[in-house]
Structure formats: structure tokens, C-alpha cells
Structure 1
């Protein structure tokens, strides 16, 4: 489903002669194809939407890191390019959980698993990723889990 949406949007962007959007969508398509090639020999293949979402999440994370580096390095034109790509990527991602929603989910998991200290961080993070992986920035969530367990 997601894969077809991305392909349809690529065609639409090409017809509209929107070069930046077309380039970003083609980049997404290439990354998805790369992942398909990686998984050819794998025994366990994830569901297609899960695979595409995972690729998009990784791409979004890379763009955020690049934006931060370019802005701290004084390269605003490159940061703007990355921001434009990030905007296209985020169109296809599920809505991300807010800080309050994330902290509530962490509290629920902490209560359910009986997690008390930092030794239980892996258990909480694993459960958090299993339940909310596609709608959560795990990097930010990691800090909140540490905060909740300390």
C-alpha cells in the first residue's frame, strides 16, 4: 500500500515537473529497492508496509541528523535541502506520538512489566518498540525511558 502510494506520487511529481519532490521520491524508491535486495536471501521477510515504514523512519532519522550538522556548520542551503526531503518522507510516515503520549506509553509499559531501575531499560525499550515502533522516535524515547527509570 505505502509502496504503491510512493510510486503514484513519484509519477504525479514527474508530471508536475516538480524536480525536488521527484528527486526525493526517487530516493525513497531507491532505498526501498535496496532493502528488497538485502532481504532476497532472508528467510523471514517483514510485511511490505512494515518494511517501507522502517526504511522511511531510518531516512527521516538520517535527515534530522544531517540538518543538525549542517546548521551547526553554517551550511543553511544544505540544511534546507535536507528539510525539503524530510518533509516528503514524513508525508508517508504514520503520525508520530507526542511527548505526552510517549511518556504515558512508557509509564504503562513500566507498570505492566514491573520495571524499576536502569537494568530494566532493555525490557521497556523492547516492548515500546514492539507496540509503537512506527509512530515513535526511538532516540527521543530512549531519553524519556532513562528519565522514567532513574
Structure 2
């Protein structure tokens, strides 16, 4: 992933795509910040899974910002945030469709033998382990919760 980001940055510089270049730099900075924090805590450098978590967090932040800008009548800033979301999502794996996520949630509930809300953590851990970065776990959490009620 780091190589992919470095290549994307070089390509953006060559093509003069300032939005893509600035967004890739933001991604690399976020990863380096996490690397530094991990080093201070005596942990290993950031893994691929952690990079995916960073990217998901960045997308959520920009979605919230775009909504705030849109509500405040700042369409140009909202558009900028949406463009950054598109760049960030280009580095993320394809998200599973909602109906497939629902089926996977049902199968995990069945596999783990979950019977109530107290088993929700077990189900979510299984989903995160099997499908890292391939679904929105906040939405999946809601689906699992509905299944366990």
C-alpha cells in the first residue's frame, strides 16, 4: 500500500493534479503519524489493516465536513471534500453491496452461535477478521444488532 501511495504521488505530480497530490500527501502524513505513535509505544509500524482503518476514518471525516459545508451554503468546500473522498476511496478495496453484507452478518451470527446482544462483540470481531476493509462496519454493526434482538 505504501508503494501504491508513493507511485500515486509521483503520478499526480507529473500530471499536475493538485487535488490528488494534496490528498495523497494527507494520507501519507496520517500513516507516518501513526507510525511515530506506534514507535513511541514500542509497537510495529502500521500494518495494511491499520492503513485501511486510517483511510476509513479519513473518508468519514470528509463526509461529515462535506455535510457541514453543504448545510452552511459553502458548496465549493463541500465539493472539495467530496473530491478528496473519491481519491481516498480509490486506494480502498471495493465495498460489498448492502444485501451481501446482510447475508454475511446472518452467516456470522449463525457460525458463532450468537443468541443475544452480549454476543455482538464476538460477531463483529469475526466480520472484521474475515472481511477487513470490505464493508462499513458501522452499518454491519446495526445489522448484527437487529439480528440478535
TM-score, length-normalised on structure 2?
0.90
User: Structure 1: any 5+ residue segments left out of the alignment?
Assistant: none
Matched pairs, number: 149
CA–CA distance in structure 1, aligned partners of residues 132 and 48 of structure 2: 13
Instruction: Give the drift of 1:46.
Output: 6.2
CA–CA separation in structure 2 for the residues paired with 1:62 and 1:48: 21
Aligned residue in 1 for 2:139: 140
Cα contact 2:93–2:134 (8 A) shared by 1: yes
- Per the alignment, residue 109 of structure 1 pairs with 108
CA shift for structure 1 position 116: 2.0
Instruction: Report whether the alignment pairs 1:54 with 2:53.
Output: yes
Is it true that 1:73 corresponds to 2:72 in the alignment?
Answer: yes
Residue 82 of structure 1 corresponds to: 81
Q: Deviations over 1:52-98 (max 9, x none)?
A: 22221211121222223333333322211111001000011011111
Unaligned runs of 5+ in 2: none
If the length of structure 1 is used for normalisation, what is the TM-score?
Answer: 0.89
Match of 2:40 in 1: 41
Please give the secondary structure, in 2, of the residue aligned with 1:133.
coil
CA RMSD of aligned residues (A): 1.7
Deviations 1:87-113 (A, max 9, x none): 000011011111111111111110011
Which of 88-97 and 134-143 deviates more? 134-143
2-side partners of 1:142 and 1:70: how far apart?
28
Partners of 1:43 and 1:104 lie apart in 2 by 39
Q: CA deviation at 1:16?
A: 1.2
Per-residue Cα deviation, 1:117-144 (whole angstroms, up to 9, x for no partner): 2222222112212221311111111111
Q: Which residue of 2 aligns with 1:26?
A: 25
CA contact (8 A) 1:3 1:52 kept: no
Shift of 1:35: 0.9
d(CA) in 2 for partners of 1:47, 1:108: 30
Q: State whether residues 67 and 82 of structure 1, in contact with CA within 8 Å, keep that contact through their aligned partners in structure 2.
A: yes
Is the 1:102–1:136 Cα contact (8 Å) retained in structure 2? yes
